[in-house]
Amino acid sequence: MIKRGRTPVEEAARLLCACVKHTCAAERIPLEAAVGRVCMQDISAAVCQPPFSRSPLDGYAARSADIAQARPEKPAVLPVSLHLYAGSTPAPLAPGTAARVMTGAPVPEGADCVVAQEQTDCGQKTVSIYKSVSGGANICLRGEDFQAGEPLTRRGQRLDFARIGLLAGQGIASVEVSKKPRVAVLSTGDELTGAGLPLAPGKIYDSNCAMLCARLAELGAQAFPLSPCADDLDALCARISQALPSCDFLITTGGVSVGERDLMPEAVQRAGGNILFYGIAAKPGSPALGAEIAGKPVLCLSGNPFAALATFEMLARPVLHRLSGKAGEAFVRRCARLETGFPKPSDLRRFVRARYNGETVVPPAAGHSSGGIGSLAGCNCLIDIPAGSPPLAPGDKVEVLLL
């Protein structure tokens, strides 16, 4: 029998991550399909932005010296020598004239300002300008957003909508990204029934697999949900062996406690696994088990839904981060003050579901069972309570892990 210990959470995550010898391979995909993916190349601007000086409004481009004395009672009257629109290729502006420009139009060479049309009579052949403006007024200068050669994204950065826009503005049609980590999810237990089937007495529907697969998708992985497996040693060994060749990471739920039918530790060993840890110094989910089988990480979680989710966040997310080649930390942590207290002391490190509101955090008033997920809906963080903490009071400062 394998003895359960209390491995610190960070050490358990480190041991699992050490199983990942290589990040997922790169692939080139269309830019519009790359949102949420991890960029696998450094990309710098090939052209500056904007690539030419342009007008941000409808009006008239002119030389500021030609309109320096303009005022309502004595406007500057200039011939209109050019009409320019977004996409126009302008000729130089002749001295003593103005160019009619629309929003986005290039500012012609020779002009050093743009006057809003509201300060003119909007003339087409000649224009009366009622207000002087200084040189540089109302012009978006070439390269003021960024210059050619400036970095736009780095290897390991997640491509969000803003970076997609930056790259599209460079005319980039495709980008090299990390392939999505392939993660198989297997729920175990005699009590489990698949979705869509009649629910017999003593049975429950399998929520863990769907919940974890959804979370994996949110985190940028490709999840492979497997049908539930009964508490049978031979069947568990077979399912583990069948799943591993087609995935980068295997996650199971159930069968890790100390009951007579908690067979996962033995099944992992029989399947050729090297157990890295069994039991973590935190709750819920303290029976979590980590192993390496055929060079791949295997994480076995509690069958209790919230316990499975909490330990998934702490142990699986670092593995996914490493597999996908992401730069930076796997977690975003914040400090906040409790709006309401938490009444239980914490002998072990404890993770509590809650709602983070920027400066404050609110745990649910009830529903903190490791087997319940009703109160998880609407939560966006886990409160990380250190071991040995007394009950927490409103106003206490806590650290939260954003989901």
Same domain flag for 345 and 365: yes
Count of structural domains, the chain = 4
Give the CATH number, domain containing residue 270: 3.40.980.10
pLDDT 10s digits, 96-143: 999 999 999 999 999 999 999 999 999 999 999 999 999 999 999 999
Same domain flag for 160 and 124: no
Whether residue 295 lies inside any domain: the answer is yes
Same domain flag for 215 and 294: yes
Whether residue 134 lies inside any domain: the answer is no
| Count, residues in the chain | 403
Of 215, 180, 188, nearest to 315 (Cα)? 215
Same domain flag for 204 and 299: yes
Q: Check residue 194 and give its pLDDT.
A: 87
End-to-end CA distance of the chain: 35
Q: Which residues contact 297 (CB under 8 A, 6 or more apart)?
A: 16, 17, 19, 20, 249, 250, 290, 291, 319
Same domain flag for 33 and 172: yes
pLDDT 10s digits, 294-349: 999 999 999 999 999 999 999 999 999 999 999 989 999 999 999 999 999 999 99
CA angle 169-172-178, nearest 5°? 120
Distance CA 97, CA 385 (A): 71
Burial class (CB in 10 A: 0-12, 13-18, 19+), 233: middle
Give the CATH number, domain containing residue 42: 3.90.105.10
Give the CATH number, domain containing residue 95: 2.170.190.11
pLDDT 10s digits, 26-72: 999 999 999 999 999 999 999 999 999 999 999 999 999 999 999 99
Whether residue 144 lies inside any domain: the answer is no
Of 82, 85, 77, nearest to 127 (Cα)? 77
Whether residue 289 lies inside any domain: the answer is yes
Distance CA 326, CA 324 (A): 6
Q: What would the mean pLDDT of 83-108 be, rounded to a whole number?
A: 97
Same domain flag for 306 and 198: yes
Of 181, 141, 152, nearest to 322 (Cα)? 181
* Domain end call among 298, 324, 350: 324
Whether residue 138 lies inside any domain: the answer is no
* Domain end call among 274, 292, 324: 324
Cis upstream peptide for 50 (omega within 30°): yes
Same domain flag for 348 and 394: yes
Same domain flag for 205 and 318: yes
- Indicate whether 258 pLDDT > 90: no
Task: Look up residue 187 and give its two tokens.
Answer: 């729920």
Same domain flag for 170 and 108: no
Whether residue 60 lies inside any domain: the answer is yes
Same domain flag for 204 and 309: yes
In three-state secondary structure terms, 377 is: coil
Of 182, 236, 178, 185, nearest to 206 (Cα)? 185
Same domain flag for 261 and 298: yes
Whether residue 4 lies inside any domain: the answer is no
Task: Look up residue 33 and give its two tokens.
Answer: 């399909």
Domain housing 41 = 28-49+153-178
Same domain flag for 212 and 167: no
Longest Cα pair distance anywhere in the chain, in angstroms? Answer: 98
Whether residue 141 lies inside any domain: the answer is no
